[in-house]
A and B are shown apart, each in its own frame.
Chain A
């Protein structure tokens, strides 16, 4: 079976800085894949390249058998790539339900259908009670949830989650984990950037570790955390010897 998403030799340079160098990863259908790595490893850049915020300097991105390298973000969303933002970007002057309707309009041209879909998604993500509240009045955990809801309303095949579990209380994070599992059960593939190891490791099927813009390791979470290179990247040489 072909992968849902593939990046082939992707490079991204910002002036003299190389944010991604020769990154080739693939994400299979129905997987939950974690993209991890220390700060500045190039995770967010890779995310933006996949979502279409900017085109890569070099290399190509294949989604669902199609080369989407030169497509803008909106076109990628229409093809089935949904995303959340690390720094939440709610539509602050709009209500929660209206926020989600914007996403639902991608696949529903009739307003009533879009509205129904949005309500369905709010129910699914546990935000139904907050439907008529302005997005600016949500607490941070709810805003993260809204990000997910909005992206889900576009009915993505691939959902890119950018640190949705970061900065939450342990209880909130656990509800978040449950939500991600639920999303996968509906057949959506998930690629997530995450910092909180103890939460993300049990959740993902596979982990890809980036460091200094390169793929450092890839595999089952339990293997990846024992990889000497990974430990070195996170904790420095001294600790790697002990492993």
Chain B
């Protein structure tokens, strides 16, 4: 009786696999390191935004402090490696788990806040995290951490000669974030989250424990973002508080989803593919004195989308959505 539904889910999966396959062969033709760099960042932000979308899009708890989890992932990996010689792969998992735990610890008081107050709290908490790291001498304080690079190694996940390994890892990360979302979308949690977003009181009356739902979304979201942060630390091999925990990261996770379609499966991907290259290109071509032009550009994009298609760019593709629009 639900052929259409099953069909649509399968089509999403096949489309994703196809896109991933195409993306995987692009670097064979694009040898330019600068362009490859942009592709890595685009995939990374796609993954981050997809993860952000789980808490803020599906569950409706707008977070503007996800830079905290990004930074925690980066710092956990870098510290474990430089201080204890723990391989980044384990650092990645550790960073994810720590972030998930902290997201839940913070959610415990914060999820009692409604709407905008929650968003404001997330900004403040991320700033506090930034200040704490800035003043923590053992963790390098404001100077940050230099991750020693000793040549190409998958074990240590560092590569000097080629960006391709990073590219493929970022691709896998984006695929994982997408797949997790796809899988959660048709799960108990997915339905609960959307119900919580639309109407918590009604959700509660239907047996949904609203608080636990939010906690679950926060944990999954923070875990995935932290893995992204770990990756970033390895990718740039030098981190300092501002460069991994600054407010701009919180924005750069939220904006692709908002542009592409918040709370949708494809929105963050689509948004990242459009937004990140624009950001990077404006930054390098109108950079220097024009610092901030990239921000102006995507500020303008967001205004445009808010006026023309508030549900995001995916609205252009979704037939059902169009039919539904009165």
B241 shortest CB reach to chain A, Å: 37
Closest to B188 in A: A105
Interface of B, helix, strand, loop or mixed by DSSP: helix
A132 to B7, CA, bound (A): 14
Note all chain A residues with C-beta closer than 8 A to B1: 116, 119
A61 shortest CB reach to chain B, Å: 15
Number of chain B residues close to chain A: CB under 8 A:
28
Interface-side segment among A71-79, A174-182, A190-198: A71-79
Is B199 engaged at the interface, CB distance under 8 Å to the other chain? yes
Is B194 engaged at the interface, CB distance under 8 Å to the other chain? yes
Note all chain A residues with C-beta closer than 8 A to B32: none
Is B52 engaged at the interface, CB distance under 8 Å to the other chain? no
Whether A90 and B207, one on each chain, are in contact in the complex, defined by CB atoms closer than 8 angstroms, is no
Whether A98 and B194, one on each chain, are in contact in the complex, defined by CB atoms closer than 8 angstroms, is yes
Is A213 engaged at the interface, CB distance under 8 Å to the other chain? no
Is A151 engaged at the interface, CB distance under 8 Å to the other chain? yes
Closest to A83 in B: B205
Whether B324 and A103, one on each chain, are in contact in the complex, defined by CB atoms closer than 8 angstroms, is no
Contact A77/B201 with A101-B191, A102-B192 known, Cβ cut-off 8 Å: no
Whether B208 and A85, one on each chain, are in contact in the complex, defined by CB atoms closer than 8 angstroms, is no
Is B214 engaged at the interface, CB distance under 8 Å to the other chain? no
Q: Return the contact of A93 from the options B208, B209, B263 (Cβ within 8 A).
A: B263
Contact A102/B205 with A93-B263, A115-B2 known, Cβ cut-off 8 Å: no
A25 shortest CB reach to chain B, Å: 20
Whether B192 and A74, one on each chain, are in contact in the complex, defined by CB atoms closer than 8 angstroms, is no
Note all chain A residues with C-beta closer than 8 A to B208: 74, 102
Note all chain B residues with C-beta closer than 8 A to A77: 204-207
Within 8 A of A (CB), among B173-224: 186-188, 191-192, 194-195, 197-199, 201-210
Whether A89 and B201, one on each chain, are in contact in the complex, defined by CB atoms closer than 8 angstroms, is yes
A52 shortest CB reach to chain B, Å: 8
Is A137 engaged at the interface, CB distance under 8 Å to the other chain? yes
A154 to B202, CA, bound (A): 12
A116 shortest CB reach to chain B, Å: 8
A133 to B195, CA, bound (A): 16
Which residue of A103, A114, A150, A154 has the most chain B CB atoms within 10 A of its CB atom?
Answer: A103
A151 to B198, CA, bound (A): 16
Closest to A137 in B: B324
Within 8 A of A (CB), among B284-326: 320, 324, 326
Within 8 A of B (CB), among A74-109: 74, 77-78, 82-83, 85, 89-94, 98, 101-103, 105-106, 109
Closest to B194 in A: A94
Contact A103/B207 with A93-B194, A94-B195 known, Cβ cut-off 8 Å: yes
A104 shortest CB reach to chain B, Å: 9
Note all chain B residues with C-beta closer than 8 A to A111: 186-188
Closest to A98 in B: B191
Within 8 A of A (CB), among B264-297: none
Whether B209 and A74, one on each chain, are in contact in the complex, defined by CB atoms closer than 8 angstroms, is yes
Contact A91/B195 with A102-B206, A103-B207, A119-B2 known, Cβ cut-off 8 Å: yes
Within 8 A of B (CB), among A182-234: none
Closest to A153 in B: B206
Is A51 engaged at the interface, CB distance under 8 Å to the other chain? yes
B224 shortest CB reach to chain A, Å: 22
Note all chain A residues with C-beta closer than 8 A to B204: 53, 72-74, 77
A150 to B205, CA, bound (A): 10
Chain B residues proximal to chain A, CB less than 8 Å: 1-2, 4-5, 186-188, 191-192, 194-195, 197-199, 201-210, 263, 320, 324, 326
* 8 sample A-B contacts, Cβ–Cβ < 8 Å, listed by A number: A74-B208, A77-B206, A98-B194, A102-B194, A105-B188, A115-B5, A119-B2, A154-B206
Q: Which 4 pairs of residues, A with B, have the shortest CB-CB distance?
A: A106-B207, A91-B198, A89-B202, A77-B207
